A and B are shown apart, each in its own frame.
Chain A
Amino acid sequence: MTTVRLFAALKLRLLAGNLRGDLTRKLGFVFTLVMAVFLAALGFFLMSVVRFAPPDIATDIVIVVFSLFLVSWMIGPLLAFGLDDTLDPARLALFPLPTRQLAVGMFTASATGVWPLASLVVTAGALVALVSSLGGFLLGILAVLLQFALCLVASRLVTTSLSGALRTRRGRDVLAVAAFASLLLFQLPNLLLNSNLGDPLSLLRGTADLLRWTPSGMTAHAIADGGLTGLGELLVVALVVAAAAWLWIKALNRALVTPDVSNQTSSVRRDRGFVDRFVSDGPLAAVVTKELKYIRREPRYRVVWFSGVVLTGVLAISFSRFEGSGGPVLPILLTTLGGLMMSMQMCNAFGIDGRSLWMNAVAFGSERGLSLDLAGRHLANALVAVPVLLLIAVVAGVLTGSPDGILWAFCAGLGVLGLGFGVGSVTSVVIPYTVPERMNAFTGAAPGQGGQAFASSMGAMIGISLLALPFLVPMLFGLYWVCALAPFYGLAAEVLGRRLGAQLGFARMPELLAAVSKPA
């Protein structure tokens, strides 16, 4: 009991300590609290409403919801790894705690908090949804607690068994991309639903049948059943929870004594001077070379590129249903969207450099240096973006059945890319912010800089969209040839924006450095 109290207190203290002295974090926490209470109430209400559905459908819904809960509990902490100090057992390794006590403690710590309680409330909503007898109610309470315990233990089991891998650099690199991929995976059902692959009811039925015999499926079924079958199912689930807990304790034991293996590293290939073939020797070539390497090697870049390309692809597929309806308009719109997504990465050009930006700062004595730096970044990004834009234009043109739009689309895409680089040069120096090293799936800015990140991307997006009107508006009237001028327009915007950015940025270099070097 003392352990439970101690760890609950530790967790609460960590939460409180995180808030101390920083107004934005306090506001953030209040917002989280309000959101959690609201979502808990909403979730509970929605679960209760399920009662009005026919009983078999209600059971199916709860089965699916419970399973979704379990999966998100298993994945959630991975996406946010590093947000919670109680999650990593290595931090507790030096305390003289027997494993059992440590397990109880970490179980308590993960049950303490706003989101765990909210999810318990929503889970309890299943009682309203499914209970039809007193037996069902009693079994239901047990079932809800078991489902909650199952979520906690399963989530612990996953993080603990992966914590070794997560502490290595490579593990985190992989996770950064994987986390994002899994978020996109959640979009998949949405796409499927959109493309009318069947009616939702049979989809629900099929999914529920599939999940019926999983542990969370059984808990849901037990509440509805309320009889001996339900009791039997709960016994099985209890055994599963116990087994998972046992596995978790084993994993915990192992995690505490297994050394960090992150120092076994491989070499990178020596540069073969690819960039030097088309850029003359000097600072520009240096920046382009470095930037191309970063795009390839830095997981944060991989995440943004991956998401930009995939998002455009998803939209292209969704829109392709309007086949043959708009002529070149759709390919043009899709390709400009692709250009927008890719150029938006340059809206906070120095964010990923972060604290290493000093190295550039001590080398640049004038605006010209900064302008060269921006030019190098733009060139490197364009080297990747231009082929991708061409691909998008071709694919969108073919899918929408208007191959005559491909050329215009490509030109418009190039135009928006240039506009994005120009606008981004200004936002990069006016509203810079730190991109945290361990980017998780929920935020792309350091603590307390969410506002800057939002302002930067919104500002850039609005700016680019407005500047793109001169060639997008004529397009709506069928004047597609105007798009041919877009690349030149974009190039001009890039040059002007870069000059302005360099001028503003060089004057406030120390402030720029400070803004991208926040601890995260």
Chain B
Amino acid sequence: MKDAVRTTGLFKRYGPQVAVAGVDLVVPAGSFAGLVGPNGAGKTTTLSMITGLLRPDGGHAEIDGLHVWRDPVAVKARIGVLPEGLRLFERLSGRELLLYNGRLRGIPKEEVERRATDLLRLMDLTEAADKLVVDYSTGMRKKIGLAAALLHNPSVLFLDEPFEGVDPVSANTLTEVLRGYTESGSTVIFSSHVMDLVERLCDWVSVMNRGHIVAQGPLDRVRGGRSLNETFLELVGGGPQTGGAAGLSWLGRRETP
């Protein structure tokens, strides 16, 4: 099977701190891939470098076999991105944001309008379509961000923490959309630290810790018969044996008067 994403020795440091220490990420085309890791593992930095938003200090990244930094035109037409933090053009309405995005990529106006209406309906945003994005809730922002990322029909979709701060109803909408999208042969890569979600959605998983990939492959192979959470804690070294609440003897104690 062809790889949708392949990085070799991707490296980034901020001052003395190494954020990503030589990452070899592989994601086969058509998979629903999860990039998991504790806070500060380097997930966001890795995704930013692959999507061309952050210049790596070393290594290279390929999408559908195309070099990200040498062939930006072809790569950018192929990818959809939903970055972390989700700053959008706040003073546009949801519909205007989609129109702007689509037309910026050279899609004719009527076609963008059609797709935008479809996406707004799909994301359950029709009512809020003419409100300014600055007034959207977190869930609505993630949905409109995803809609903007899907608008030009990319073949690989990068989502940084798409489910963080999203209510269950919106989360369900998001997963339905993404499932349908991968079933048509496209690839989704999303970062998360919610193991249950990754386990439920993904067929491919890459585990990052301290700037390295520590495990990678089909979900069943990585978790090896256990739950992904157990495997994850073992891989990143945060199991119950490391202390936990042992030092907090006062916690939960109530004095009887």
Contacts and interface: CB of A to CB of B under 8 A. Distances in A.
Contacts of A24: none
Interface stretch (A180-188, A292-300, A303-311): A292-300
Contacts of B238: none
A355 B130 contact: no
A10 interface: no
Interface in B27-69: 51-55
Given A265-B131, A267-B131, A356-B90, A365 B104 contact: no
A170 to B, nearest CB: 9
Interface stretch (B70-78, B193-201, B247-255): B70-78
Contact of A365 (B55, B74, B81, B99): B74
A60 B50 CA distance: 69
Given A267-B93, A294-B91, A362 B131 contact: no
Contact of A283 (B77, B96, B106, B132): B106
Contact of B91 (A267, A298, A355, A510): A298
Contacts of A283: 103-106
A85 interface: no
A361 interface: yes
A334 B41 CA distance: 57
Interface residues of A, number: 42
A358 interface: yes
Given A281-B108, A282-B106, A365-B77, A290 B89 contact: yes
B135 interface: yes
A287 B106 CA distance: 11
A287 B104 contact: yes
Interface in A258-301: 262-263, 265-271, 276, 281-283, 285-287, 289-290, 293-294, 297-298
A286 B100 contact: yes
Given A267-B131, A356-B89, A510-B54, A362 B79 contact: yes
Nearest to A364: B76
B185 interface: no
Given A270-B95, A289-B96, A365-B77, 14 more contacts: A169-B134, A271-B96, A283-B103, A286-B99, A286-B100, A290-B92, A355-B85, A355-B87, A356-B90, A359-B101, A360-B104, A361-B53, A365-B74, A366-B72
Interface of B: 51-55, 72-77, 79, 81, 83, 85, 87-93, 95-96, 99-101, 103-106, 108-109, 130-132, 134-135, 137, 148
Interface of A: 169, 262-263, 265-271, 276, 281-283, 285-287, 289-290, 293-294, 297-298, 353-356, 358-366, 509-511, 513-514, 517
